[in-house]
Amino acid sequence: MLKLGLVGEKLSHSQSPQIHAEIMRQKGIDGTYELLEFSRESFLQDFNVLKESGFRGVNITIPYKESVIPLLDEVSQQAKYIGAVNTVLFQDGKAKGFNTDYDGFISLLDHNNVAVKGKSAVVLGSGGSAKAVVKALLDQGVYDLTIVSRGKQNFHGNYTISYEFFREAKIKSDLLINCTPVGMYPNEDNSPVTRSEIQAETVIDMIYNPSKTLLLKTAEELGLKVVNGSYMLQQQAVKAQEIWAENAPF
Over its length of 250 residues, how does the chain's per-residue pLDDT go in tens digits?
899 999 999 998 899 999 999 999 999 999 999 999 999 999 999 999 998 899 999 999 999 999 999 999 999 999 999 999 999 999 999 999 999 999 999 999 999 999 999 999 999 999 899 999 999 999 999 999 999 998 766 666 777 999 999 999 999 999 999 999 999 998 999 999 999 999 999 999 999 999 999 999 999 999 999 999 999 999 999 999 999 987 544 3
pLDDT at residue 153, as a whole number: 66
Q: How much is the pTM?
A: 0.91
Angle, vertex CA 156, rays to CA 119 and CA 68, nearest 5: 125
Q: Is 65 a catalytic residue?
A: yes
pLDDT at residue 250, as a whole number: 36
Catalytic residue chosen out of the listed positions 3, 10, 65, 131:
65
Instruction: Read off φ and ψ for residue 245, nearest 5 degrees.
Output: -80, -20
Nearest Cα to Cα of residue 180 among 218, 123, 121, 125: 125
The full 3-state SS of the chain, as one line of letters, equals CEEEEEEECCCCCCCHHHHHHHHHHHHCCCEEEEEEECCCCCHHHHHHHHCCCCCCEEEECCCCCCCCHHHCCEECHHHHHHCCCCEEEEECCEEEEECCHHHHHHHHHHHCCCCCCCCEEEEECCCHHHHHHHHHHHHCCCCEEEEECCCCCEECCEEEECHHHHHHHCCCEEEEEECCCCCCCCCCCCCCCCHHHCCEEEEEECCCCCCCCHHHHHHHHCCCEEECCHHHHHHHHHHHHHHHHCCCCC
Q: How far, in Å, CA of 108 to CA of 134, rounded?
A: 14
pLDDT at residue 151, as a whole number: 77
Could you give the C-alpha distances from 132 to 15, 85, 110, 135, 210, in angstroms and in order? 20, 9, 16, 5, 22
Nearest Cα to Cα of residue 250 among 73, 66, 131: 73
* Contact call for residues 229 and 108 (beta carbons, < 8 A): yes
In the chain, the domains with their CATH numbers are 2-98+232-245 (3.40.50.10860), 102-229 (3.40.50.720)
Nearest Cα to Cα of residue 245 among 22, 23, 18: 23
pLDDT at residue 159, as a whole number: 79
Partner residues linked to 32 by β-bridges = 3
pLDDT at residue 246, as a whole number: 72
Count of positions (residues) in the chain: 250
